[in-house]
Each structure stands twice: as structure tokens, then as C-alpha cells.
Amino acid sequence: MERPLLLVEDSEPDAEALLRVARKLPLSVPDYLFQRGAYVGAPRPVMVLLDLNLPGIGGQEVLALLKADPMLRTLPIIIFSNSTEARDVSSAYSGGANSYLFKPGDAVGLQEAARALECFWFNAARLPGLEEPTG
């Protein structure tokens, strides 16, 4: 089953490292969200990994935008950030984030974080859009 995951990351090295790890997991990484224009009819992501420190619009603004949209509000948003500030963690959860993970500083830690995401979010948890058929 395809499990689309949207990565919102401004650090090229971090994005590349996450994509390398994601290629080993049962995920696909689309570059769309609102299914507009060329993406009408594209499968909607089942989760968003969101960095807080983005250029231009910040991660908190992206979080607010997603949680304000009736079609996207149930989409799990996982904050994946370098920030260890308590106010950033509190603000993310207040804004509707489903989880807050600190970015590991090395490739091994990044792989462990990716495996933990897979283990919890794709194996233990039930995500909207990935429900098992009934009947």
C-alpha cells in the first residue's frame, strides 16, 4: 500500500538524509498537498514531517494553515526540528501538532528517528486514509 509522506524541510542536507532513509521504508514522498493544478486527483499524504525553521513562511504558520483547512485538519503533523526550546515545543502542540521530534545530529540518529516514526505512526497508530477495509 502506498503511504505518501510530505516532507517540509528547508535544509538540503537534512532533506537528502531523510529521503535516503525514507527510500528504505515503505513510504512515498510526494511534493504536493492541496491537490491543485497538476496534482488534482493525486493521493493525499497521510502525514507531514514539518520543520519549524523555514525561510519565508515559518513552520508555525504552515501548521496553522494545515489545521485551519477542513480537508487537512486530521492529517497528522509531526514537527521535526532542531529547536529544543520549550516554547517551540509548547507552541507546536498548542497549534495542533501531533508529535514533536528533535532532529538528530548524525546519520545514525536520523535513521533511528525514521525507524521510530515508522514503528509508531505506520505500525502501531491508525492513520486517516490508511484504514484497513472492513467486511
What tens-digit pLDDT sequence spans the chain (135 residues)?
455 666 666 677 766 766 665 655 544 444 667 777 777 887 777 888 888 877 667 788 888 888 988 888 888 999 988 888 999 999 999 999 999 988 888 888 888 888 888 888 878 888 776 665 555
CB distance 101 to 83 below 8 Å: no
Q: Check residue 100 and give its pLDDT.
A: 94
CB distance 66 to 85 below 8 Å: no
Burial class (CB in 10 A: 0-12, 13-18, 19+), 37: exposed
SS3 at position 49: strand
Q: Answer yes or no: CATH 3.40.50.2300 is held by domain 5-124.
A: yes
The number of beta carbons lying within 10 Å of the beta carbon of residue 58 is 13
pTM of the full structure: 0.72
User: Rounded to an integer, what distance in angstroms lies between the CA atom of residue 114 and that of residue 122?
Assistant: 11
Cα 128–chain centre separation: 14
CB distance 66 to 72 below 8 Å: yes
Segments making up each domain of the chain, as ranges: 5-124
